[in-house]
Chain A
Amino acid sequence: MRSEDLLPLQERTADRPETLSEIAGGGFRMIGGRNRGVDGFQKSTGKAIYTDDIVLPGMLHAKILRSTEPHARIQSIDASAALALEGVHDVITGRDIPTAYGIIPWTPDEHALAVEKVRFVGDAVACVAAVDEDTANAALDLIEVEYEALPYYLDPEKALTLEAAETPIHAPRKPGGNGNILKRVQLEFGPVDEKMSEADVVVEGEYYFHGTTHAPIEPHCAIARLNQDGLLVVWSATQVPHYLHREIARVLGLDVAKVRVVQPAVGGAFGGKSEPFDLEFCVALLALRTGRPVKILYTREEVFYSHRGRHPMKMKYRVGASENGRILAVDAETILDGGAYASFGLVTTYYSGQLLTAPYEIESYRFDSTRVYTNKAPCGPKRGHGSVQPRFAFEISLDKVAERLQMDPIEFRRGVFMGTGRTVNEFRVQSNGFLECLEAVEKASGWKEKYGKMPYGRGLGVAGSCYISGTNYPIYPNPMPQAAVQVQVERSGRVTVLHGASEIGQGSDSTMAYIACEELGVPLDYVRVFSADTDLVPVDLGAYSSRETIMVGNACLMACRRVGDLVGGSVAAEWEVEPSRVRLAGGWAFDVKDTERRMPIAAAFQLAEAEHGTLGAVGHYNTPKEGVHGDYRGGTIGASPAYSFTAHVADVEVDPDTGFVDVRTIWVAHDCGRALNPVLVEGQIEGSAYMGHAEAVLEEQEYMVGEHEGGLHNAPSLLDYRIPTSMDCPEFVPFIVESNDPEGPYGAKEAGEGPLHPSLPAIANAIYDAIGIRIDSLPFTPPRVWQAIRDAEAVKMAEEVA
Chain B
Amino acid sequence: MKDVLTLQVNGDQVEVGVPTHYTLLETLRYVLGLTGSKQGCDKGDCGACTVLLDGEAHLSCIMPVYEALGHEITTVEGLADGPYPHPLQDAFDLTGAAQCGFCTPGILCSAHGLLAENRSPSRQEIQQALSGNLCRCTGYTKIFEAVEVAAESLRTGMDPRDIVAERYEVALPSRSMQPLSDLLKEPHA
Contact = CB atoms under 8 A, between A and B. Distances in A.
A266 B174 CA distance: 30
A723 B138 contact: no
Interface string A15-56: 110000000000000100111110111111111111011010
A729 B140 contact: yes
A275 interface: no
B115 interface: no
B118 to A, nearest CB: 16
Contacts of A680: 96
Contact of A726 (B100, B131, B178): B131
A682 interface: yes
A536 to B, nearest CB: 21
A505 B100 contact: yes
Interface string A55-77: 10000000000000000000000
Interface stretch (A119-127, A140-148, A403-411, A684-692): A684-692
A44 B89 contact: yes
A265 B36 CA distance: 12
Contacts of A34: 164, 168, 170, 172
Contact of A268 (B34, B100, B141): B100
A39 B98 CA distance: 9
B174 to A, nearest CB: 7
A199 interface: no
Contact of A44 (B34, B40, B108, B176): B108
Interface stretch (B52-60, B62-70, B72-80, B151-159): B72-80
Contact of B95 (A218, A525, A679): A679
B175 A55 contact: no
Given A13-B176, A35-B173, A723 B102 contact: no
A219 B39 CA distance: 8
A48 B36 CA distance: 8
Contacts of A579: none
B80 to A, nearest CB: 6
Interface string B86-98: 0011101111101
Contacts of B46: 217, 718
A122 B20 CA distance: 31
A268 B105 CA distance: 14
Contacts, number: 217
B99 A505 contact: yes
B36 A46 contact: yes
B68 to A, nearest CB: 18
A388 to B, nearest CB: 16
B36 A683 contact: no
Contacts of A690: 138-140
Interface in A159-175: none
Contacts of B186: 12
B43 A217 contact: no
A39 B89 CA distance: 12
Interface in A59-98: none
Given A34-B170, A45-B76, A729-B139, A687 B175 contact: no
A35 B177 contact: yes
B175 A718 contact: no
Nearest to B98: A43
Contact of B175 (A9, A523, A682): A523
A727 B189 contact: no
B17 interface: no
B142 A683 contact: yes
A176 to B, nearest CB: 44
Contacts of B126: 726
Interface size class of B (residues with CB under 8 A): 35 or more
Contacts of A658: none
Contact of A43 (B37, B101, B173, B176): B101
Contacts of A3: none
B177 to A, nearest CB: 5
Given A34-B170, A523-B177, A270 B136 contact: yes
Nearest to B106: A217
B48 interface: yes
A513 to B, nearest CB: 10
Interface in B9-48: 29-30, 33-43, 45-46, 48
B7 interface: no
B103 interface: yes
A150 B80 CA distance: 58
Interface string A523-557: 11100000000000000000000000000000000
B163 interface: no
Contacts of B76: 44-46
Contacts of B135: 217, 726
A55 B28 CA distance: 13
Contact of A723 (B88, B136, B173, B174): B136
A35 B141 CA distance: 18
Interface string B159-189: 0000010001010111111110000001011
Contacts of B136: 214-217, 268, 270, 691, 723
Contacts of A215: 136
Interface string A484-512: 00000000000000000000111100000
B141 A732 contact: yes
Given A46-B75, A53-B35, A15 B177 contact: no
A274 B144 CA distance: 30
Contact of A37 (B33, B93, B144, B188): B93
A2 to B, nearest CB: 15
A683 B99 contact: yes
Interface in A293-313: 299-300
Contact of B140 (A214, A300, A726): A726
B176 A39 contact: no
A230 interface: no
B127 interface: yes
A214 B134 CA distance: 13
Given A12-B189, A13-B176, A40 B92 contact: yes
A706 interface: no
A229 B42 CA distance: 37
A44 B93 contact: yes
B189 to A, nearest CB: 5
Contacts of A480: none
Contact of A40 (B37, B93, B173): B93
A42 B102 CA distance: 11
Given A44-B85, A46-B75, A683 B96 contact: yes
B23 to A, nearest CB: 13
Contacts of A8: 189
Contacts of B179: 41
Nearest to A269: B100
A726 B175 contact: no
A267 interface: yes
15 contacts: A12-B175, A40-B93, A41-B93, A52-B29, A53-B35, A55-B30, A217-B100, A265-B100, A267-B100, A268-B137, A505-B100, A523-B177, A683-B96, A718-B46, A719-B45
Kindly list the 9 A-B residue pairs having the minimum CB-CB distance in the complex, ordered from nearest.
A46-B36, A267-B102, A505-B100, A43-B101, A690-B139, A40-B93, A46-B76, A53-B35, A505-B99
